[in-house]
Chain A
Amino acid sequence: MLAWCAIVLLLCAECLAADKQPTQKADREMERALHEFKIETAAMGARADSPGVRKSRAASGPPWHGRFFENFRNDFLDAVPHEIVQRGGDKSVLRRNQFGLNITGPLEIPKLFSKRSGTFFSFSYEGVRERISRTRLRTVPTIPERTGDFSTTVDQAGNLLPIYDPGTTRTNPAFDPAQPVSAGNLQYSRDPFPGNRIPVARLNPVAMAAMELYPLPNTSVGPFFQNNFFINSPETNIANGIIAKVDQTIDDHHRLAAEVNYSNGLLGASRWFDSAANPGPLDTDSSTRRASIEHTFTAASQLVNTASVEASSERWNLGSEDHAYPVYDLHDYLNLGRPSPFSSNVSNQFRISDGTSLRNGKHSLRFQLFYTKFQVNTMWGRYPAGYYNFSAGLTSLPGIVNTGHGFASFLLGLPDYAEKTIVTAPSYFRRTSLNFSVREQYELRPNLTIAVSAMIARRTPRIEKFDRQSTVDLTAINPANGRPGALIAADQNGESPGFRPPVVRLDPSIGITWSPGSKSRTVVRVSYSRSHSPIPLRFGQWGTQGFNGYQSFISPNVQLDPAVPLTGSLPPPQFSLPDLRPDAGNDTVADLMDLSGSDPVYQSAQLSVERELPGAAVITAGGRYEGGHDLLVGSDAANPNAISPDALRYRDQLNDEAFNRSLRPYPQYKGFNLYGLYPYGKYQRDSAYLRLEKRVSMGLSLVAYYEFSKQLDDYSGPDGSQDFFNRRNEWALTPYSHPQYLNLTYVYELPLGPNKPLLNYWDWRRHLVEGWSLTGSGVYASGLPLVLRPAFNNTGNVISSLRVNVVPGVDPSVPNPGPELWFNPAAFDQPPDFTLGDGPRTHPVLRGPSSQNYDMSLTKRMPLDADRVLEFSAAAFNFLNHADWETPDTTIGPASAPNVNAGKIIGSHGGRVIQLGLRLSF
């Protein structure tokens, strides 16, 4: 009986155990796992109740990360640039060392900060020591020309260029005023210099003294005697900078971040020639400083506030008073002296901002308020030693183009315009901006979100701290002639300190993101935005006329009389400064501010469709529209004092300054200096693009981007507008916009070494084969639209930028364009005297040569231990040593003297540069 009972009990126990076994085992295993979780996370310091020191990290070394690095470049590694080889050179000096360090980690200062305090720092230093060649190709006078001998000087067609003696100028009694001036109907006649040589006795002593400082030709690129001075001079750069950051997590709700940037730079500019008259760039002593503090307050999981204070300063000191040499503007030849030979400038910016992000249901709101104060302190005299312009007019046969020479006018000491700037004190410009923005993102459906934002900005105009600011008011009456247009000064006679009231702008934007379908392989994005851009504060003392002096000396007739004799100095000003008379700006190129209150407006709209493809690839196709109006332009593109082209009917009479001025809307002014701050320009850019992203697989990732665009505007380019009264006719392709652009970037971790398909070594050889990667980029940009210009502009100073005429029926393109002939110059012509050119501002079809660049970097990483890696890199920029052609010569001469170089390309530029780098990371 008992045995039976035992057997039954045994069977029951067996059954019970069989049922409970998996559950109990699983529970036990989970208990064990949980126990291990707690032990490990405690050891890591990851639990609220765990010791603060992270034992595991402490055991493996200090928890600081960082790097030391050195990047090295030297000309022995590089290809000699093509432009230097083509000039017969074999060296381009380059010595460059760039070195530095970065350290990041928890801040630990005994008795102040422990590792547990949650304070982290980051410190970076970088230094640069560099000496590098800079090259230029310019034209200087030939040796005979320097002594007045123009017997071998030729025009663009290779014909002798006649130089006329201004001392023999006389009226032509046979002149028929009913007929245009021509070689057969001269209004004034002159005798050419015998043998086309200026007698030595006639040479101006100041000009001859300047010749002592002017270099001789050193090459002969041509054509004829042009492009005969090749500059290959090194510049030096010394820079030292730091970035220091501290990040403090106070608790779960508060975080503070502070950052300080500091950098000093010293640039020893290349010397175009080694004399006081050097027109090249200036030595620059610069520094930047920036400090910011940011506080983030996380009030709740749905509410975050960020407040910050930031101050930054940039200082740029250029040149020195030793560089103050008069500027002799010789047009076709390299100038002597340079504008703004010294200046001292500081730009400061102070910003306070506060932003709040709030999430409520399907709404995400972001409010932001920021106040910015801008300051510019500047002392900048444009022509402290004087400016002299020498054109061909005074040594020409009056009224006949392709006669006379600017350098001959210089040798005779006959400038047709001169100017001098007298700066009495620095200017202290100020401006403020108060912005408030709100952004709402709403989730219409899980796969459809819409974001709407608006920003209201209040911006004050520029003021000067001591009200030493002025402009021409085009509505004020000038007492000198009773016409509108007079000088006004800030905060005087009822004027406000900034001349125009503060503006309030509203900038809206909207964006929609939609992922159609359930699998969400496709994302559609649509957006539109409109924004106003503030008028910036710039270095320079524009708008201080009257407080500072702008002496102007204007020729009564640029073909007959000089503005002032070249004596080495200009006459002193007639009035002492400050001179705030309403007519104090008369007979000058006066500073003119726009007082209408307009500022630039930009808008853009975009549509893109993104599609995920098999193989971890994403393709995006999109289109973009961008446009703007009231864009800031300079005097080349806007001229409120322009003469209507209808006045060209007065022909040679326009060379008379008094008559010419009488036709201008504001005849008391020679012109206006707008300083690139006149809100007048307009542009539009339409583009379509395709982007293919191949996310990493087998170590390779790449992004290819292609864009086709068309950009038009009515203001940009090297020359400016032809007709200020017909802006529609200025609407043309933007000269600096590439119609086609292709970019490819790639990163390839080479499949070598352990766990890789090739050379899968696990022994000592792994150190040789693993850790290699290749990174590269390639850029192709199609050529820029060509800007064609006539060789001569005989429009009596009415048209500042004359265009060419188009020859009907002649194809401007050539088959197989190359450096010998890029386009057909016979398709264009010099417009007749006193007529506008009928060609476009930029050619709609002709493009310059395309450009290409391919960079590649090969990197080898060598782990030294778990925390330290030594990385060697060799980067080759333009590694194919590809040369891009220069832009073809687009100057079109008249049929009588065609430019033999028109349509041709002189040389190419570019060369491979190699940089070796070593970085120790820890």
Chain B
Amino acid sequence: MRNAFLWLCLTLAAVAAPASPAPAPSKIVRIPVRVNSGKTPDANSFQATLDQKTAKVVGVLTPDDPQMLLVVLDLSGDLAVIDAAKAAVSAEIAKLPASTYVGLLRAQDGLAVLVDPTADRSLVTSAIAGLTVSGRPGLLEALEPVERLADSISQKAEVRVGVLFITDSNVREYREDFTNPVINSSDPHDLSRRFPEALIQEKISKLQTLFAQYRTPFHVVQLANHGDRLNEAYDNGLRQLVESMAGTMGLCRSQGEIAEQIDRAFHAVCSEYALLVALPGRAKDTVQVQVSAGDLPLMYRARLMVKEK
């Protein structure tokens, strides 16, 4: 009898305990959304349409939910700027809620993990403090793998994933040549270098095409203001890329702006929502997205690729 009673209790307890969550169903699409004002929307107020058909919002991950934040450092220039950035990033990390796991990566000489995502702040900040400055800029090479990584995590786990790049990259310092330097100084009638931004525009355009398949917004803080035409085209290209992914870009014009721009970027990345929306029965490879939350202005990707990668 006692055994029977215990078996009954255990059975009842097992039934009563929450079921372990199954992987996100394949017909559910995640739409990252950022509120473009200081107001906080009610999670239940989100509505979505996919290809102009109302789609059911089956779940909402809010800024109160856990987040995995991937901070990618691409630092190869002025020590003073880098030091200011390191201090600002460490300060922001210390302010993050306990539920946020921070992973630290480095973009120089290929993407490298410095610290796996962790809630241990001291681990991350000491890694930041000890980071050496060497190598060449790696932001453009790092964008795609980090996006792939973030999307992959989003598909496998029900956590918010945020991506933030901190860079001081100078387009002239990349290993890949975007400067189109004069090779034949004896050629007096060369007009091909009159538009020096052509190569970087092409690279950005290629990345934009590639990024059509990714969903995670990313944010960039450019620490250095190099001020020449080619670097302006580079910064504009990054901005274009970031905005096409519904992210933000901060450009520091002086060392005094670094802390503020990093603060804005952390705020933007931490305040992201993720809507889990059920796909209609027969969805196309890409769907047009519309999301609303009352009258609040929202930032999100207007078209998402939903075909399985």
- Residues in A whose Cβ lies below 8 Å from that of B65: 26
Among B5-13, B39-47, B291-299, the stretch in contact with A: B5-13
Partner of B197 from the list A296, A359, A697, A747 (CB cut-off 8 Å) is A747
- Residues in A whose Cβ lies below 8 Å from that of B131: 301
Chain B's interface size range is 35 or more
Q: What's the least CB distance linking A484 to chain B, in Å?
A: 45
- Residues in B whose Cβ lies below 8 Å from that of A37: 68, 103, 116-117, 149, 153
Among A204-212, A335-343, A913-921, the stretch in contact with B: A913-921
A57, closest chain B residue (CB): B145
Partner of B134 from the list A100, A296, A447 (CB cut-off 8 Å) is A296
Q: What's the least CB distance linking A223 to chain B, in Å?
A: 33
State whether the Cβ of B58 lies closer than 8 Å to any Cβ in chain A. Answer: no
- Residues in A whose Cβ lies below 8 Å from that of B302: 755
Whether A747 lies near B201 (C-beta < 8 A) is: yes
B5, closest chain A residue (CB): A2
A255, closest chain B residue (CB): B134
Q: What's the least CB distance linking B204 to chain A, in Å?
A: 9
The answer to whether residues A443 and B198 also contact, given A32-B156, A877-B191 and a CB cut-off of 8 A, is: no
State whether the Cβ of B192 lies closer than 8 Å to any Cβ in chain A. Answer: yes
| Chain A 23-51 near chain B by CB (<8 Å), digits 1 or 0 | 01110111011111110110011111000
Output the residue of B158, B210, B302 with the most chain A CB within 10 A.
B158
Q: What's the least CB distance linking A397 to chain B, in Å?
A: 47
- Residues in A whose Cβ lies below 8 Å from that of B237: 696
Among B26-34, B163-171, B173-181, B265-273, the stretch in contact with A: B173-181
State whether the Cβ of B49 lies closer than 8 Å to any Cβ in chain A. Answer: no
State whether the Cβ of A65 lies closer than 8 Å to any Cβ in chain B. Answer: yes
Whether B17 lies near A17 (C-beta < 8 A) is: yes
- Residues in B whose Cβ lies below 8 Å from that of A773: 201, 205
Whether A859 lies near B157 (C-beta < 8 A) is: no
The answer to whether residues A877 and B194 also contact, given A100-B183, A359-B80 and a CB cut-off of 8 A, is: yes
State whether the Cβ of B37 lies closer than 8 Å to any Cβ in chain A. Answer: no
Whether A703 lies near B79 (C-beta < 8 A) is: no
Whether B198 lies near A284 (C-beta < 8 A) is: no
Whether A241 lies near B183 (C-beta < 8 A) is: yes
- Residues in A whose Cβ lies below 8 Å from that of B229: 703, 745
State whether the Cβ of B52 lies closer than 8 Å to any Cβ in chain A. Answer: no
Whether B201 lies near A13 (C-beta < 8 A) is: no
- Residues in B whose Cβ lies below 8 Å from that of A108: none
Whether A863 lies near B206 (C-beta < 8 A) is: yes
- Residues in A whose Cβ lies below 8 Å from that of B145: 44, 46, 56
State whether the Cβ of A468 lies closer than 8 Å to any Cβ in chain B. Answer: no
Whether B110 lies near A54 (C-beta < 8 A) is: yes
State whether the Cβ of B187 lies closer than 8 Å to any Cβ in chain A. Answer: yes
The answer to whether residues A869 and B206 also contact, given A36-B157, A514-B256, A875-B195 and a CB cut-off of 8 A, is: yes
A261, closest chain B residue (CB): B183
Output the residue of B9, B161, B235, B244 with the most chain A CB within 10 A.
B9
Whether B79 lies near A357 (C-beta < 8 A) is: yes
Whether A33 lies near B156 (C-beta < 8 A) is: yes
- Residues in B whose Cβ lies below 8 Å from that of A196: none
Partner of A104 from the list B177, B190, B210 (CB cut-off 8 Å) is B177
Whether B254 lies near A36 (C-beta < 8 A) is: no
- Residues in A whose Cβ lies below 8 Å from that of B3: none
- Residues in B whose Cβ lies below 8 Å from that of A359: 79-80, 83
Q: What's the least CB distance linking A860 to chain B, in Å?
A: 11
Whether B21 lies near A302 (C-beta < 8 A) is: no
The CA-CA distance from A618 to B236 in the complex, in Å, is 13
State whether the Cβ of B99 lies closer than 8 Å to any Cβ in chain A. Answer: yes
- Residues in B whose Cβ lies below 8 Å from that of A867: 206
Whether B184 lies near A775 (C-beta < 8 A) is: no
The CA-CA distance from A701 to B237 in the complex, in Å, is 10
State whether the Cβ of A693 lies closer than 8 Å to any Cβ in chain B. Answer: yes
State whether the Cβ of A449 lies closer than 8 Å to any Cβ in chain B. Answer: yes
- Residues in A whose Cβ lies below 8 Å from that of B84: 443
State whether the Cβ of A857 lies closer than 8 Å to any Cβ in chain B. Answer: yes
State whether the Cβ of B159 lies closer than 8 Å to any Cβ in chain A. Answer: yes
Partner of A298 from the list B78, B80, B132, B210 (CB cut-off 8 Å) is B132
B80, closest chain A residue (CB): A364
State whether the Cβ of B283 lies closer than 8 Å to any Cβ in chain A. Answer: no
Partner of A523 from the list B20, B205, B254 (CB cut-off 8 Å) is B254
- Residues in B whose Cβ lies below 8 Å from that of A71: 191-192
- Residues in B whose Cβ lies below 8 Å from that of A873: 198
Whether A243 lies near B183 (C-beta < 8 A) is: yes
- Residues in B whose Cβ lies below 8 Å from that of A46: 105, 110-113, 145
Whether A775 lies near B256 (C-beta < 8 A) is: no
Whether A247 lies near B136 (C-beta < 8 A) is: yes
| Chain A 590-612 near chain B by CB (<8 Å), digits 1 or 0 | 00000000000000000000101
- Residues in B whose Cβ lies below 8 Å from that of A644: none
Among A123-131, A785-793, A887-895, the stretch in contact with B: A123-131
State whether the Cβ of B257 lies closer than 8 Å to any Cβ in chain A. Answer: yes
Whether A249 lies near B109 (C-beta < 8 A) is: yes
The CA-CA distance from A35 to B68 in the complex, in Å, is 12
The CA-CA distance from A696 to B236 in the complex, in Å, is 5
State whether the Cβ of A286 lies closer than 8 Å to any Cβ in chain B. Answer: yes
Among A3-11, A143-151, A174-182, the stretch in contact with B: A3-11
- Residues in A whose Cβ lies below 8 Å from that of B186: 237, 239, 263-267, 284, 286, 288
A240, closest chain B residue (CB): B184
The answer to whether residues A33 and B68 also contact, given A28-B20, A44-B149, A46-B145 and a CB cut-off of 8 A, is: yes
- Residues in A whose Cβ lies below 8 Å from that of B177: 102, 104, 122, 124
Whether B5 lies near A515 (C-beta < 8 A) is: no
Whether A869 lies near B113 (C-beta < 8 A) is: no
- Residues in A whose Cβ lies below 8 Å from that of B68: 30, 33-34, 37
Which residues from 767 to 781 on chain A have a C-beta closer than 8 Å to any C-beta of chain B? Answer: 771, 773, 775, 777
Whether A241 lies near B80 (C-beta < 8 A) is: no
Whether A915 lies near B191 (C-beta < 8 A) is: yes
State whether the Cβ of A322 lies closer than 8 Å to any Cβ in chain B. Answer: no
Partner of A446 from the list B185, B197, B256 (CB cut-off 8 Å) is B256
State whether the Cβ of B18 lies closer than 8 Å to any Cβ in chain A. Answer: yes
- Residues in B whose Cβ lies below 8 Å from that of A249: 109, 134-135
The CA-CA distance from A762 to B304 in the complex, in Å, is 12
Whether A28 lies near B187 (C-beta < 8 A) is: no
The CA-CA distance from A703 to B195 in the complex, in Å, is 14
State whether the Cβ of A448 lies closer than 8 Å to any Cβ in chain B. Answer: yes
State whether the Cβ of B94 lies closer than 8 Å to any Cβ in chain A. Answer: no
The answer to whether residues A26 and B99 also contact, given A5-B5, A44-B149, A877-B191 and a CB cut-off of 8 A, is: yes
B132, closest chain A residue (CB): A298
23 A–B contacts, CB within 8 A, in A order:
A13-B17, A26-B159, A30-B68, A32-B157, A33-B153, A34-B116, A37-B117, A44-B149, A255-B134, A264-B186, A301-B131, A302-B83, A358-B79, A364-B83, A443-B255, A447-B256, A449-B254, A514-B254, A745-B229, A747-B201, A777-B195, A863-B209, A871-B202
Contacts A298-B132, A747-B233, A861-B205 aside, 10 further interface pairs with beta carbons under 8 A come to A33-B117, A46-B111, A54-B110, A73-B191, A98-B192, A130-B187, A249-B135, A298-B133, A449-B256, A697-B243
Using a CB–CB distance below 8 Å, which chain A residues touch chain B? 2, 5-6, 9-10, 13-14, 17, 21, 24-26, 28-30, 32-38, 40-41, 44-48, 54, 56, 65, 67, 71, 73, 96, 98, 100, 102, 104, 118, 120, 122, 124-126, 128, 130, 132, 237, 239-243, 247, 249, 252-253, 255, 261, 263-267, 284, 286, 288, 296, 298, 300-302, 304, 357-359, 364, 441, 443, 445-449, 513-515, 519-520, 523, 525, 610, 612, 616, 618, 693, 695-697, 699, 701, 703, 745, 747, 749, 754-755, 762, 771, 773, 775, 777, 855, 857, 859, 861, 863, 866-867, 869, 871, 873, 875, 877, 913, 915, 917, 919, 921
Using a CB–CB distance below 8 Å, which chain B residues touch chain A? 1, 5, 8-9, 12-13, 16-18, 20-21, 65-66, 68, 78-80, 83-84, 99, 101, 103, 105, 109-113, 116-117, 129-136, 145, 148-149, 152-153, 156-159, 161, 175-177, 181, 183-192, 194-195, 197-199, 201-202, 205-206, 209-210, 212, 229, 232-233, 235-237, 239-240, 243-244, 251, 253-257, 259-260, 286, 302-303
